[in-house]
Chains A and B, each alone.
Chain A
């Protein structure tokens, strides 16, 4: 595809050589040595991410400057990307079929063989970097099979999506899902789609018991395993954040609400132990455990919030349409979390100040360039983390959902990069699925607002004309930093947010 002639579709894109001035999204990768990166080039003015069509070189191959290394598919065409350096291809970060954002490293080149190991290590230390790409990649092609393979989707979906009509003559109806049994001969028999999913979701097929005929592992087995590993109790990733907020709400907001369980430290003896005084074990009843490092960090952050003059604005929002949309999109992997984040992002785009933050010295307002919506998620060990959905207003809902499920998965195995949990400009905490009517969230340091989303339930209410009716409603409570915004600003934002939730179709386009 090297000699494509583009026909009236955009500016001339030649040469394809990677521009050196490609912006780097993360400063954490600094290349001071002889290991060079190959970046995802910007092949057109509108290109934001590119898909690797094929690697023309494999790790270990010698590469000379100007030689084509990889074929990249942009929004317009497939193009060869040349290397800027002589060297040896050390490692590939984004595999074939994977996508990477423009400017992201997709491979590392070592100048000499001595640096080869380092180049390989780089790809490794990039840690999570390789993960999003294959995951995203996997998710894109998965659209087709998911759409095409009616019987494939998750077990929950099979209930609603009718399987292909029962074959007539020689075909008996498939046996009802038997209890998964591991094959006695130790072989792993998995269907093609199950294998694809396992790769995407990083599920070890060998560890699974198949529910298909003769212990065959099907796509739904893989999905179930992935969800199980991720949530413990939750079937959908959306359930995960919920668990987290229980703790979030229970711990710091303990004074506002009766604690749902009794965490030993904060509520045991409020006031009796002066802040900062060393803890004497004998003064405490019951069992005492030191904080994990994450708990310590959370505690520190929460204390910081006490320096912020917070106020709260609460709105009751009708969710009938949102629920319908969510139900419709669920088979496509769109979660309520993604919808809420998208709605918040869309509203934030219209209310700059809610997306802003007070400077650490308390002397100014920082208006953020990006709208990054953080959503609180609980960790298996009781911790709490806030993975960030970047540019939530401009990313489409499907991509957002994919990013979310990827973030949740990686957050549970602690593979998130700092940038992926501390770059939020606005936070959502959702206890809706636990039936919380309304609750009160605490501001994350460095942000101006956090939205606490309560559960949606049928409520007897009066409509515009004063007629009594039953509507599904939820209460959303916005906690704001009064240093940077007034009550009116917060109310206006909530009005926009309410309007979007009550007319959510715009979220899908």
Chain B
């Protein structure tokens, strides 16, 4: 595949007169010092040779995008260094860059910190390493479960905290390297520096205290993908030692015996899974009336049964942690003052060994210079965008050629959602209007067992049905992992899957799963939703037996769609050989 592309590109280059231009003109090498003269002398065709040049020099796969190029040649009045500048190289920026290259755009990516962003360096990826190790410890220590499978572990299960932490760090750096290489291989320019918008098509970048790094580049389109940082409520001083955010917790410098986790969302939940497996005790502090707000109620109840009650966890709900006094490990406890969410009275105080603040994430948009393009972040710092991911100015008007994706726009703060938004934005730049259906974006918490969902919760579905006037058509179907042979073979029958759908149309409104490998199972549902497949369509899909995928199969098979009122359409003849067959007389 890669070779074929190279050959194709090679032919293109060979036939092209532009390729005779000297190597030094490659923007990769002379980024900051490109002579303005070339640009003017080459005029309109400049972007085109630049692209070809880049391909030639990097010997990388990059498809010619004749279609779009022609379009731009006809319409562009100016010429720019790049077709697209992406600010931020997290999972969102990376996904967008890959897709942009595939669409034939010449792309630069600016990264001021770590390639890979939060997900790879301080989020999903290292936390999965911790969960993998601690999950194994949990399994090995669960003598009852092992015994039920006929296994005995002689002696104690031991682990080395530092080695687990090292595994997480190594995983992060290796994925980080992979990401960087994948972009370099495609001929994407990776520029180091924090970016600041200088105008509608222009970005300045640099690093504080470094004069050798930085410059200004121009682009036809600009994509803001700066992501987010942990949100820390006021009154909580982070010392990085006894009071910390997920950033520090993932380094796992020590294991507190008792840790309070402020916030019981999926970040808090995953960390509680890690900590309890490694022998720590956990206290949740949650401002909402119930733990795991945002989860489907029934799933949350099950999660409470599986992930909270049987473990060394207690909790305080309806309270804010209004004041936190850091302690000293082993010497002085951390003191957390709890204030009732309603009465605003201080109701209790905790004395724990450490405090993890997992109260969500705040957009990282400071210093971006949104005012240069006439836009401003909203109250919470998010960049306002429309459905096409185009940035809106203060009057809610589209700022042309500037897009914002990922955590920075706050629409759906998950790595894969950012990537999907980036792809959607690139489509829009290329003149193929696209709107990402956020309801079909799945999400998961990688606890043991996992929790995953896509679309509406049952509560939200009922509300939507009420509003949409199809309340009587809303149906819910459920199945237990206890009914799945594979789950029973694993002796992991604890789990539940449920699906909300319309009885009249068969449209899937939401699927929620808690149970073994739920995070992997959700994609049949999310893909069906994104491609608008109905329950009826899915009934004909075949699942390998016995697999956990049959949990979804069971949901689909147990759903009942009202027969259509109109006459059934003539059955399509699938096999051409059968075309000549006459229908049987009625």
Contacts and interface: CB of A to CB of B under 8 A. Distances in A.
Decide whether A and B are members of one complex: yes
Interface of A: 1, 3-9, 53-54, 76-78, 97, 140-145, 147-152, 160-165, 167-175, 189, 191-193, 195-196, 212-214, 216, 219, 328, 332, 398, 508-509
A9 B158 CA distance: 38
Interface string B132-160: 00000110011110010000001010111
A69 to B, nearest CB: 17
B473 interface: no
B419 interface: no
Interface string B288-316: 00000000001001000100011111100
6 contacts: A143-B143, A144-B142, A148-B137, A162-B156, A192-B313, A332-B143
Given A145-B311, A149-B280, 10 more contacts: A1-B298, A3-B476, A77-B480, A77-B483, A97-B309, A168-B162, A171-B255, A172-B330, A193-B281, A212-B257
Contact of B484 (A7, A216, A328): A7
B124 to A, nearest CB: 23
B252 to A, nearest CB: 9
Contact of B258 (A143, A168, A191): A191
Interface of B: 137-138, 141-144, 147, 154, 156, 158-162, 241, 253-255, 257-258, 276-283, 298, 301, 305, 309-314, 329-331, 333, 351, 353, 476-480, 482-485, 488, 496, 554, 558
A145 B310 contact: yes
Contacts of B488: 9
A162 B158 contact: yes
Contacts of B330: 171-175, 213
A192 B281 contact: yes
Given A164-B278, A174-B330, A192-B258, A169 B253 contact: yes
Contacts of B554: 5, 7
B568 to A, nearest CB: 27
Nearest to B154: A328
Contact of A174 (B257, B281, B282): B257
B312 A196 contact: yes
B496 A148 contact: no
B146 to A, nearest CB: 10
Q: Is the interface of B mostly helix, strand, loop or mixed?
A: mixed
B311 A144 contact: yes
Contacts of B305: 53, 97
A164 B253 contact: no
B142 A54 contact: no
A430 B143 CA distance: 28
B329 A193 contact: no
Which residue among A7, A76, A189 has the maximum number of chain B CB atoms within 10 Å of its CB? A7
Contacts of B480: 1, 4, 77-78
Contacts of B142: 143-144, 147-148
A79 to B, nearest CB: 10
Contacts of B351: 189, 214, 216
B254 A171 contact: yes
A214 B257 CA distance: 14
B310 A169 contact: no
A43 to B, nearest CB: 12
A508 B255 CA distance: 34
A191 B282 CA distance: 8
A143 B241 CA distance: 31
